[in-house]
Structure 1
Amino acid sequence: MIRKRKKKIFGYLEKPRISVFRSNKHIYAQVIDDYKGHTLIYVSSKNFDFKNLKKKDISYKLGKILGKKISSYGIKKIVFDRNRYIYHGRVKALAEGLRNVGLQF
């Protein structure tokens, strides 16, 4: 059996990596500078009060919030690390929220 190896995704200060993790209830995203090994920004759906919204809508709004925080640092380009999640549903909604703020990846 041949196993596929994960391609190494690397971000740096001018083009940081956004790592996404989702659980059954919440979604988390962090902006990482892999060169220094530091997390620059972290957001979670736990930290905000999203009532009466679907999980997909929460992910979209969280992407917009994260995008505004990233833009305040003057960053325009990012590397999107979906952590082997399918680019579908909540992960896609988070990415669309980031794109609507004006980030490129």
Structure 2
Amino acid sequence: MAGKVAYGKQTSPRAVSRGRRHRRVRKKVFGSSARPRLVVTRSTRHLFVQIVDDTQGHTLVSASTMDAALRTAEGDKTAKAKQVGELLAQRAKDAGITAVVFDRGGNRYAGRIAALADSAREGGLEF
């Protein structure tokens, strides 16, 4: 592991690169009560999204592919990411949140992450 920056205990080159990207993004992205942070966590099978107020350290709204409404949804992972974005936008609107700061969690803005962001924007979130 000489010369590599590990992210947690994961030391694969992909995990190290994601860790670097994540730290680079988090240097600049901070959620306030006026514009909370939209956090994306991606696993191989599922997608988890939260809207967090960093000043208080509270999760205001969350959605994931593990929700009962989306658990049995048909389609590939990108289609499910779109549904998660729509669900999150609806829940955020119900909570009175209209503008957020996007934290992609070190993931590249492509595929499921882009689909989630686009559908959340279409649902009324501004970021």
Percent of aligned positions with the same letter in both sequences?
Answer: 37
State the 4+ residue runs in structure 1 displaced beyond 6 angstroms.
Answer: none
**Equivalent residue of 2:83, what SS?**
helix
1:33-48 to 2 correspondence within 5 Å? 33-47=53-67, 48=70
Match of 2:103 among 60, 81, 103: 81
AA aligned opposite 2:125:
L
Q: Which has the higher helix share?
A: 2
2:94 pairs with 38, 53, 72, which one?
72
Whether the aligned pair in 2 keeps the contact of 1:55 and 1:90 (CA below 8 Å) is yes
Pair 1:100 & 2:122 matched: yes
Distance in 2 between residues matched to 1:72 and 1:36, nearest whole Å: 20
* Structure 2 unaligned regions, length at least 5: 6-19
Q: Identify unmatched segments of 5+ residues in structure 1.
A: none
Q: Structure 1 length normalisation: TM-score?
A: 0.90
Distance 2:105 2:29 in 1: 10
CA RMSD, Structure 1 to Structure 2 (Å): 1.7
TM-score by length of structure 2 reads: 0.75
Structure 2 Cα separation of the partners of residues 29 and 8 of structure 1: 19
Secondary structure at the counterpart of residue 109 of structure 2: coil
Q: When the two structures are aligned, how many residues end up with a matched partner?
A: 104
Letter in structure 2 aligned against 1:56? T
